[in-house]
Amino acid sequence: MVALKQLAGVIFAAMFLSIVGAIYVGYSRGNAKSNFERDAEDLAQQIRLLVDHSENTTWIFNIDVPADCELQFENKSVVAIVDDVHKYHDVGISVDGPTISGRRVRLTLKRVENGVMISG
């Protein structure tokens, strides 16, 4: 009887820890996605500010792109893709750069004659 109570306690504890772990992982992923969306908007703002500077001016921008997200540059927009939802941030000038996903990246923003070139 005591052994069954102890076994039930162990099973209950394991289930409780599994649930708490799943909630924590879900919260962490959601937090990372929110931070990414905010950082993508900040990146667009930095590009808008860079437009007012002379050609060959370079700035550095660090961003974490979660594994299930993407950062793209299309025409005059920074595009943050989260859960297959595209969020466009207009920058008002031609912007070109690589597609980035699943990593922390240090971007170099360079003002060029016809826009902004992103490398990273």
Q: Does pTM surpass 0.85? A: no
Domain that holds residue 60: 2-119
Residue 98 main-chain phi, psi, to 5 deg:
-80, 160
pLDDT per residue as tens digits for the range 83-103 = 889 999 999 999 999 999 988
Q: How many domains does the chain have?
A: 1
Instruction: Tell me the C-alpha distance between 43 and 97, whole Å.
Output: 13
pLDDT per residue as tens digits for the range 56-79 = 999 999 999 998 899 999 999 999
